[in-house]
Every structure is written in structure tokens, then in C-alpha cells.
DNA sequence: CCTAAATATTCATATATTTGCATTTATAAA
DNA sequence: TTTATAAATGCAAATATATGAATATTTAGG
């Protein structure tokens, strides 16, 4: 039987790292653009959001590193997409909560 | 009609701040203890988690400030509890995602 | 008023994150 | 091989966050 005492530090770290990866305005904006299984390149995102190419790449790297996104190279482009589409629900849930009051 | 272009910086900031508040191992542990409408005092949390009183108070302050928790003083104690019980779903969702692979 | 208990705040230090410039690497096409 | 485009990386400066010791505040009970 599982209870709260058995949530070990590693699991907490992992969950916190994933959330931390998402918890940034630019990265939330990226996730919104990738909802519904869409795949976008670094350049597309960098132009959509109006931020530097290297900054974009850094943010995508963080999201990928923490298991939020996957990427796939096709020629010169690298396409990024959501690993778990369920993750975009987190953003929606948050947005509902930040709506009230 | 709402589309992605209309998600302004303020909304993104707000969502990011709420997520950032949650995205910390200690604070996730706090949320887990408050699931199901439970109310705990600073001292109870500080003893449950084995962290300093002032550190505990700092973390609770962050969660309250960012709209994740509410508090209510009763005599010498201050009880903290989840503002939106739905928020604990975020943690559960994350935990499911960090389970795979 | 005095004391004790619970909580909050101030402050300093340590650590982590963000950003973008400059550079490098990877790939495709000429 | 040379050139151009796309993406990733190294680095440094600015900014933000975490922690806990010390202190202040709040409240209840003498």
C-alpha cells in the first residue's frame, strides 16, 4: 500500500524538475503552440515568439531534457513536439485557476 | 473568438508564477500533505517534513502568495490548505508522467 | 504586564536560472 | 569543397531563488 511517507525525494525531485521546466512564460507559450500534436522547428518558434534563436534553443533544450518535449531532426530542421499531450492539460488547468478572481 | 495570439504576457506570467510556486520538491511535498482538503499548521508541516520553521513559513508564504494555498489563523496557529483542490491533480498528473520510462 | 508558543519577517549567503552574443556543429545544395 | 541555413553550445552578466539564523510579531494564559 502506498502512502505519503513513501514518496521519496527522487520522485519529488523528478516531478519538481518537470514542473520547473514548464514554469516559465516563454516555455508555457511554446507548449501552447505545440498543443494538439503540432510539430514546430526552432526557427518557427523563434519567429513566432520573437525571441533570439539561441534563447529559443536553450528553452527547447530544457523542455526536452526534462521530458516535456521530444525532437526529431529532418534535414536542417529539428521539429519539437509534446511528449505527453496530457501535459498541455496542466497549462489549461492553470489557466482556469488563474482566471478566477 | 480566442486564439493563441491573444494569450498576453500577463496571463503567461500568472500561469508561470503559479507553476513556479509549485515546482519545488518541498512545496510539492506540502501539497501532497494537503490533498483532500486537509488543513495543517506551520509547525505540523515543519515537523512532518523535517525542515526549519522559517524555511517552512517561507515556502507556505510563496504558495499562498501565488494563489495555491489559503490560510486561516486560529489562535496561535495558522492553518494552511489548498485553494483549488484541482491543483493537486497537477501533481498527480506529473507523477504519472514521471512514472513512465 | 509578563511569559511562552506559533508564526512571520529580515537579512545574508549560497546556488540556480535566464538571456543573448559569439562560436561551433550539422546538413543540404551548388 | 565551398557556401548557406538551421540548430546547438560555451560563456558571462544579470537576475532570481533557496535556506536558515536571528529577530519581530501575534496571540493565549497567567
pLDDT at A87: 77
How far apart, in whole angstroms, are the C-alpha atoms of residue B25 and residue A25? Answer: 20
pLDDT in tens, A73-84: 999 999 999 998
Residue A13 has a pLDDT of 87
Q: Is A19 exposed, middle or buried (0-12, 13-18, 19+ CB in 10 A)?
A: buried
| Residue B30 CB neighbour total at 10 angstroms | 24
Q: Which residue of A9, A12, A25 is in closest CB contact with B16?
A: A25
The set of cell numbers assigned to A25 is: 512564460
Residue of A nearest to B92 (CA): A15
Q: Which residues of A touch B28 (CB under 8 A)?
A: 12, 15-16, 19
Cβ neighbours of residue A7 under 8 Å, at least 6 residues apart?
A: B29, B32
Q: What is the number of residues in chain A?
A: 101
Q: Which residue bears the cell 494537503?
A: B34
The pLDDT value given to residue B87: 77
Confidence of residue A99 (pLDDT cuts 50, 70, 90): low
Q: Residue B4 — pLDDT band, cuts 50, 70, 90?
A: very low
Amino acid at each position: 500500500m502506498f502512502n505519503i511517507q513513501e514518496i521519496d525525494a527522487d520522485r519529488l525531485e523528478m516531478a519538481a524538475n518537470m514542473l520547473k521546466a514548464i514554469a516559465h512564460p516563454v516555455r508555457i507559450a511554446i507548449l501552447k503552440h505545440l498543443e494538439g500534436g503540432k510539430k514546430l522547428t526552432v526557427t518557427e518558434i523563434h519567429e513566432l515568439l520573437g525571441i533570439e534563436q539561441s534563447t529559443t534553443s536553450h528553452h527547447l533544450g530544457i523542455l526536452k531534457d526534462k521530458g516535456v518535449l521530444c525532437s526529431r531532426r529532418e534535414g536542417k530542421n529539428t521539429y519539437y513536439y509534446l511528449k505527453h499531450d496530457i501535459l498541455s492539460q496542466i497549462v489549461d488547468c492553470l489557466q482556469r485557476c488563474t482566471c478566477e478572481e
